[in-house]
Amino acid sequence: MRHTLVTSRDQARRHILQAHHASKSVGVVMTMGALHAGHLQLVHASTDECDFTAVTIFVNPTQFAAGEDFEQYPRNLASDLEALRDYPVDLIFAPDVAEMYRSQASTSVEPPQVALLWEGQCRPGHFRGVCTIVLKLLQAVPADVAYFGQKDYQQYLVLRDMCADLTLPVRLQLVPTVRDADGLALSSRNQYLNSEERQRAVAISQSLQLAQQLLQNGTVHTGQITSRMRDVLYSAGIEHIDYIAIADPETLTELRSIERRAVAMVAARVGRTRLIDNQLLTMK
């Protein structure tokens, strides 16, 4: 299937307004490209549920902290278009940086409270950049529903609160994490791993599975769970851990013991590659 590819905000907006005019429901999937089956799961959810689907592809400079991998981040529009070929996507919006940010830009979105924790602590300015670009992309692509992956659970909560606080007329939909057969969450950054690191990286999802097992077997004290999770990572030679936490799934404040629902989250470096993953924990 040949898609409509646009690079200007005005063109993108015109297409979306036309779809609205034709009473179509519009879904958007926002990505930084380097598309994999995780992204495609979001595309599938949107094409399944909405009459019109837009995919945005933009490596957003403002969400990378100083010294992070902005320069190195994989960019290949041709292979992204190829990955989308078999999906009934109506519009692909792939702007360049100048299209999204004027050079003198000095305004940004102050992220909500939930952005202060975890990723917000490790990556200063990250969620400010994410909130700002998502608001700007929603101006160009004013969708009814925006699809986000469970893989970046905190990002979803941050954006959900931003949309509610700024009364944006969009619904956010969370889509489950897509994993490789051994459990590793798909991520564009997995491309950075060499084969030995790729094998060790599976310990991250194993530690999350262990958390769920321990809870099911009656361990509710989070300190006991996180220390066992840490052992799993250490055994795989993953020693640079930014955080292992078990938190309230709505506020992300750390829990001392689990009463009902919780989310277990891990951020760690495998070699030089920083990976994150999480899992919602349930009592049964």
Neighbours of 199 (CB within 10 A): 14
192 binds ligand AMP (CB under 6 A): no
Residues 119-178 that bind ligand AMP (CB under 6 A): 148-149, 151-152, 175, 177-178
Q: How far is CA 48 from the centre of its chain?
A: 20
92 binds ligand AMP (CB under 6 A): no
Dihedral sign, CA of 242, 253, 249, 123?
Answer: negative
Contacts of 239 (CB under 8 A, 6+ apart): 233
Q: Among 13-21, 71-79, 182-190, 216-224, which window interacts with ligand AMP (CB under 6 A)?
A: 182-190
The owner of tokens 């599975």 is 209
274 contacts 242 by C-beta, under 8 angstroms: yes
Which residue's C-beta sits nearest to ligand AMP?
149
Q: Which two tokens stand for residue 239?
A: 């020693």
According to CB under 6 A, which one of 47, 53, 56, 187 is a site residue for ligand AMP? 187
Quote the least distance from Cβ 27 to ligand AMP, whole Å.
13
42 binds ligand AMP (CB under 6 A): yes
222 contacts 257 by C-beta, under 8 angstroms: yes
SS3 195: helix
Quote the least distance from Cβ 256 to ligand AMP, whole Å.
28
Indicate which residue of 39, 44, 221, 240 is catalytic. Answer: 39
Closer by beta carbon to ligand AMP, 129 or else 255: 129
Quote the least distance from Cβ 180 to ligand AMP, whole Å.
9
Q: Which two tokens stand for residue 138?
A: 């929603």
Quote the least distance from Cβ 22 to ligand AMP, whole Å.
27
Q: Which of 254, 258, 259 is nearest to 244 (CA)?
A: 254
Residue 39 annotated to the active site? yes
According to CB under 6 A, which one of 19, 26, 28, 32 is a site residue for ligand AMP? 32
* Cα separation, 90 vs 78, whole angstroms: 17
Catalytically annotated residues: 39
Binding site for ligand AMP (CB under 6 A): 31-32, 38-39, 41-42, 148-149, 151-152, 175, 177-178, 185-188
